[in-house]
Structure 1
Amino acid sequence: MALFLSEKDVEELLTMPLVIEAVEAAHRELSSGQACDIPRQRTRLPQTTLHVLQGALPGLDAIGYKAYTSNRSGVRFLVYLYSASTGRLRAVVEADRLGMMRTGAASAVATRWLARPDAQVAGVFGAGWQAEGHIEAIAAVCPLRRVKVYARRSERLLAFCARLSERLGIEVAAAASPEDAVRGSDIVSTVTTSATPLFDADWLSPGTHINAAGSNSLIRRELGEDVLKRCSPIVVDSIETALREAGDLLPWLEKGRLQARQLLELGDVICGRQTGRSASAEITLFESQGMAIQDLAVAVRLEALARERGVGSELPFGG
């Protein structure tokens, strides 16, 4: 029978190293032509929007989708995992934590392949749920000694830094300003819902790697054109998805200052089809929009762990 895994079940089973491995493997499969991914589609009403991401990983006997609704009352996530060979439902997973961890993991994978090997200081914009997973993921692939976090709500920021410092065993401190977060950072990550650029290009040091994880629609923009002009290469999780919803890139593409052929896919960098960082002074950029195959790769591993450990509950349908 198909399994149902609650947020509590996901929290019990999921670890960041497992998610990072799953996400990197999914990008390898996409680059090698062994996976397919359909960009996010949205059905909008004045009060609620339904978002659906679809994909398949035949090598894992997996096909499915993530569906979530956004409303003033909150956002609700579910992943539906099916057998690619039989079409039968394998699992339904509550996916708030899953999505948070795989978003962070995608930036961690990009950081592993694009940041300088000696990167030790990170500057992060955002102190919410997604930023928490983001910092944990980067710390799992880099020998971070310090993280500077900037957010508008100082009381929330201080509590956030204290909690992450204790949990990760590294210095996580509040940045005094956006400039303070960027200057001297080897890695700069943006995990916000900002509609306007967060920092100036002049604050970036040569050799910085940037993860932009919040701009997944036209109304969101975390990086300005001054920053984009300094970035090479510009890497995306999926070119097709980026051309639809990368709010940071679309204005530049529309003006003809960036061409789609200049974008590299993360999976191609991982597989060696494209060159990522080629010089220590390059400022590299990863634009993350999110992909169904990332969620499905994690869900497959979750299902296997759940069945092995007797976690979750059987659904009365889908078998």
Structure 2
Amino acid sequence: MTPRFYRESEVSQVLDMSTAVEVVDECLRQLAIGGAENVPRHRSRTSGFVLHSMSATAGYLNVAGWKQYATTASGARFHVGLYDCERGRMKALIEADRLGQMRTGAVTGVAARYLAHGPITQLGLFGSGWQAESQLEAIKAVHPLSRVFVYSRDEARRQSFAARMSEELQIEIIPVHDPREAVEDLPLIITATASKTPVFDGTLLSEGALVCAMGSNWLQKAELDVNAVRLADNIVCDSLEACKLEAGDFVAAQEKGYFDWDKPVELGAVVANLAVGRNNKDSVVIFKSVGLAIEDVALAEKFYQRAMTNPGLGVSLPL
């Protein structure tokens, strides 16, 4: 069978966030117990251009794959290649912007499922872009979310985001003018920004708060300040190996002696009951996500299996 090529619109047609959360939940568990292997992102640069490359094998699914994307001043282009491990043949080439958005949201959903103290009905959100949308989708898939306080630097964008996502998710989304309104007295704070510097004061975090930081995957960027990291009782990463390469949120705290790499555990280990992600109900917990290829590969396989039941989706490639 020749490989199939699928477009963004077909990914959106086939996948939903509830499915993505379950797929990512299982792939992280498999990563912890040896059923999968992840290779962190590597980047190759030239003037005005960056090529980002990451890959994974999902032995439990008998598939492997890679994600490649190019970023320039005009934007980014994402693709996932999916392979059959038994015969080594390519199964699919998939446009993967929406797939990546869904898996990024789904990881936060999984983190909120295992690390939050009790049901989440309200949260604070930093960011009003593409990735912020899927963060709310994912939390609503795993918790009875009813109210969101959203902050971003651009007032018009946060107003528009609040109106659009309120209607789409049927929850109350309140745009706020002060960052502290998206932190104080809230059980969950999500950062989904492109900021190079911390977006809130960590001393504002309440007892028992969970912070999910997913906007930065560069060592030169940090959405969290030293105080947030210093005050955290538990720190959980999607991958320790990947976070050591890309989690700029921990750099300043490490330089000041408030953080070392003996403290964090991996989310997959928490899912598999091999590690503790929250000490008690009053613990402040940070979850740091930089994005893993295994999540893309596992979700791509789920998409492929569903798409193959509809012969009208995709086109054959002459490979």
Residue by residue, what CA displacement relative to the aligned partner does 1:213-235 show, whole Å, maximum 9, x if unpaired?
Answer: 01210221100111101112100
Aligned counterpart, 1:119:
120
CA contact (8 A) 1:39 1:53 kept: yes
- Closer, same or farther: CA 317–121 of 1 in aligned 2, 3 Å: same
What SS does structure 2 have at the residue aligned with 1:257?
coil
* Counterparts of 2:60 and 2:42, CA distance in 1: 25
Aligned counterpart, 1:154:
155
* Counterparts of 2:97 and 2:137, CA distance in 1: 16
Aligned counterpart, 1:222:
223
How many equivalent pairs are there?
Answer: 318
**Counterparts of 1:96-135 in structure 2 under 5 Å?**
96-135=97-136
CA contact (8 A) 1:121 1:184 kept: no
CA contact (8 A) 1:2 1:91 kept: yes
CA contact (8 A) 1:243 1:250 kept: no
Aligned counterpart, 1:93:
94
Q: What letter corresponds to residue 211 of structure 1 in structure 2?
A: C
CA contact (8 A) 1:9 1:311 kept: no
**Counterparts of 1:201-220 in structure 2 under 5 Å?**
201-220=202-221
* Counterparts of 2:145 and 2:317, CA distance in 1: 46
Aligned counterpart, 1:268:
269
- C-alpha displacement at 1:256, in angstroms? 4.4
* Counterparts of 1:227 and 1:117, CA distance in 2: 21
Aligned counterpart, 1:78:
79
- C-alpha displacement at 1:236, in angstroms? 0.2
What SS does structure 2 have at the residue aligned with 1:248?
helix
CA contact (8 A) 1:214 1:220 kept: no
* Counterparts of 1:310 and 1:185, CA distance in 2: 47
* TM-score normalised by the chain length of structure 2: 0.97
CA contact (8 A) 2:4 2:317 kept: no
- Structure 1: gaps (5+ residues): none
Identity rate, percent: 39
What SS does structure 2 have at the residue aligned with 1:317?
coil
* Counterparts of 1:100 and 1:252, CA distance in 2: 29
What SS does structure 2 have at the residue aligned with 1:67?
strand
Aligned counterpart, 2:141:
140
* Counterparts of 2:118 and 2:312, CA distance in 1: 38
* TM-score normalised by the chain length of structure 1: 0.97
What SS does structure 2 have at the residue aligned with 1:38?
strand
User: CA RMSD, aligned part only?
Assistant: 1.1
- Structure 2: gaps (5+ residues): none
What SS does structure 2 have at the residue aligned with 1:43?
strand
* Counterparts of 1:162 and 1:242, CA distance in 2: 34
